[in-house]
Amino acid sequence: MKATITLHATRKAIDLSKPIDLSITLKNSDKNPLAWYLEKPKISPVQLDDWVGSVEAGASVNFNNIAFNPHAHGTHTECYGHITKEFYSINDALKTFFFMAEVITVAPENREGDLVISEAQLKERLHGTTPQAVVIRTLPNTISKKSRKYSNTNWAYLHKDAATYLRKIGVLHLLIDLPSIDKEKDDGALLAHKAFWDVPKAPRKKATITEFIYVPNSVKDGSYVLNLQIASFENDASPSKPILYKPL
């Protein structure tokens, strides 16, 4: 028997037994993806005097500390507080968690040595739709994205006009399989972030950007229901677990 639910906000029924997880697992391993010139995250047992929080070491429980950066170490969702002087938390930005999403696949264009996702490419692939969320899968799409070391690679990025276009058609949640929607080294310009959030003109406090996802090749372009899950961090960004469901 299918475990199904009808989402009245979207008027779509989904099969809860068939989630499509877009998150990349954070792990204490050299296989963890990295960006922004940081080393791998650290997950290690607490040590208090002679006590070590590990069952293998003789404790009754495993009791680990975890040190990581949400922007550099894996799938994360961020709010406009990421680029503003005043503090604003992702935990305040994201208050509802189910959205209609469009998955699109884009091969970034070569422009003067950079790989750029253009406004024209987004318009072509969205076919006039105006979803609440857009999930961008970039080509080539290989499994190595889940362990890639992105620092000093000049990764592909979203042109500011493309980000502006998404804002103008009402997209509230942008998801992409890159460490950032902006160029790795842009002297702090952050043109796509600012364009999508409309900072500083009229900041969109409820809009989010999710980076460092992975969209399997088995997932076809098209319409889905997105469940965007975050941890309750009082921070500009949180580790996140975006889940897609194909409407029935």
Q: Does 138 reside within a domain?
A: yes
Q: Does 127 reside within a domain?
A: yes
Predicted local confidence at residue 123, as pLDDT: 98
pLDDT, tens only, 73-100 = 999 999 999 999 999 999 999 999 999 9
Query: CA–CA separation, 228 vs 239, rounded Å?
Result: 11
The domain total for the chain is: 1
Q: What is the mean pLDDT of residues 231-241?
A: 97
Q: β-strand 98-106 against 208-211: which pairing, if any?
A: unpaired
Q: What are phi and psi of 193, to 5 degrees?
A: -60, -50
pLDDT, tens only, 180-219 = 999 999 999 999 999 999 999 999 999 999 999 999 999 9
Q: Does 33 reside within a domain?
A: no
CB 212 within 8 A of CB 33: yes
Predicted local confidence at residue 67, as pLDDT: 98
C-alpha closest to that of 206 among 245, 167, 179: 167
C-alpha closest to that of 4 among 225, 182, 169: 225
CB 157 within 8 A of CB 182: yes
Please give the residue range of the domain that contains residue 228: 4-27+70-245
Q: Does 121 reside within a domain?
A: yes
Predicted local confidence at residue 157, as pLDDT: 98
Q: Does 63 reside within a domain?
A: no
Q: Which residues contact 226 (CB under 8 A, 6 or more apart)?
A: 98, 99, 100, 101, 132, 133, 135, 173, 175, 242, 243, 244, 245
Q: Does 60 reside within a domain?
A: no
Q: What is the CATH number of the domain that holds 82?
A: 3.50.30.50
Percent over 70 (pLDDT), the chain? 97
